[in-house]
Amino acid sequence: MKCTYECGSAEHTVARRQFLGGLAAGAGMFIGGLDTFATPAAVAQMTRDQKRLIIVRMHGGLSQLESWDPKPNTDTGGPFRAIPTSVPGIHISELLPYTAKQMHHLALVRGINTKNDDHGKGTYMMLTGRHPTPGQTFPELGAVVARAMDNSALTLPGHINIANGGSGGRNNDAAYLGPKYASISLGGAQPPAYTTRPANLTEQTVQQQDEFRRKANDRFAGRRRTAETDAYVQSFEQAQELVRQRDVFDLSKEPQKDHERYGTHEFGKHCLLARRLVEKGVTCVQVSHSNYDTHNENFEFHFEQLGEFDRPFATLVGDLAERGLLQHTMIVVLSEFGRTPRINQYYGRDHWGHAFSVCMGGAGLQRGAVVGKTNANGTAVTERQVDAGHLFHTYLRALGLNSRHHFNIGGQKQPMADPAFAAIDELIA
């Protein structure tokens, strides 16, 4: 069987040699565990060079006019000013003063038109890069990246979703890629539930149980191995890794000064945990900030919400750059749509998917770039209009993946990204 990997990176070449070499030792060896083929050198290389992704979801529909594409002194602009950034000529809302200082690490897409004003459909489009299709569900960006970057040297889950109230279980966001690549939902900034060893079990007892389980698995695999048994073993092994590496998720290990820089509110903690997770080798981390569905009192809500968002996000960007991680880590700040340029009778803005913006940076993206333009009062895209499909291709390309490749799912080819679209070439470094 020929294995086609989604990118030509060194880590996939190393992993393929390890995998093929391991097959010669028999199937029982593979079913033994995630790290069977991982060598210290391979793990060290993955830690240094592995691409990573952080998605920041602005739930509800962030206003582009109060963030990335302000239109002051117009009939739609609202009360806030536009301020200069660290990139000459680029201005963003005065509600984002800390982020403005990091703009040389970031890029803006100001010409997005999905022609959609529905929360559910908008979320689906922005996270899958696809238009809703009856009878077909596509995997979200985090699952696609986790699958494309999968490697035997990566023992931690590849897809983590940090959310208030998360249970530690798998979400339903991987579609046909399977539950292995679905996100694990962490409850706030806490380690996953049930990852501590029961007090009445000694380490020796746990090791003996695991040795017995492995022997039973090997014996069973020799006669009745199936995809289902492999999936069960993989899930169990990954759960063991969560127990062994529980400290990866423990924010108390971070210095107090970092807690102070990021802030003690939930979003600040989530950004700090996102930094910690990508530092430890997790491929994709998603954090959320809510709620931007400002049909009423749009300006008061954005003043408060972006005031909470700005400093932790800017601190995250600055830390990744300072630690040398930004060259391998892409950050995307997205929302399901924007807000109407027209201000309604309740001083709010309604749903608007016809001319809004996304902020991104890091990995293989051009820094300090702006692609797309809207007219003077933000009611329409006038230059370089793009859809969610273009963004999806761009994210994959910036991570070093060939977005024209496909996954082989049950003998069928499934394109990684919608083949009807292409990447925004101006953003690819």
- Residues 164-190 have pLDDT tens digits of 765 667 788 999 998 888 898 887 666
CA atoms within 13 A on the CB side of 328: 21
pLDDT category of residue 25 using cuts at 50, 70 and 90: very low
pLDDT at 205: 76
pLDDT category of residue 135 using cuts at 50, 70 and 90: confident
Amino acid at 356: F
Mean pLDDT within 350-364: 97
Partnered with residue 360 across adjacent β-strands are: 107, 332
Amino acid at 298: N
Q: What are phi and psi of 276, to 5 degrees?
A: -60, -40
pLDDT at 15: 39
Residue ranges and CATH numbers for the domains of the chain are: 51-191+232-427 (3.40.720.10)
pLDDT at 236: 61
Kindly state the DSSP code that residue 419 receives in the 8-state scheme. T
Other C-beta atoms lying within 10 Å of the C-beta of residue 6:
22
Calculated CA dihedral for residues 276, 277, 279, 284, nearest 10 degrees: -140
Cα 84 off chain centre by: 28
What is the residue-averaged pLDDT of the chain? 84
* C-beta pairs of 135-138 under 8 Å, 24+ apart in sequence: 137/175, 137/176, 138/175
Q: Is the dihedral of CA 36, 39, 44, 48 positive or negative?
A: negative
Mean pLDDT within 126-144: 94
Going by their DSSP bridges, the two strands 412-415 and 406-409 should be labelled as antiparallel
Other C-beta atoms lying within 10 Å of the C-beta of residue 209:
11
- Range of 15-19, 29-33, 60-64 with top mean pLDDT: 60-64
Is pLDDT at 365 greater than 50 in this prediction? yes
Calculated CA dihedral for residues 247, 248, 249, 253, nearest 10 degrees: 60
Q: Which residues contact 222 (CB under 8 A, 6 or more apart)?
A: 27, 28
Task: Report residue 340 as tokens.
Answer: 């109407």
Task: Report residue 143 as tokens.
Answer: 């699952």
pLDDT at 344: 96
Task: Report residue 328 as tokens.
Answer: 């391998």
pLDDT category of residue 151 using cuts at 50, 70 and 90: confident
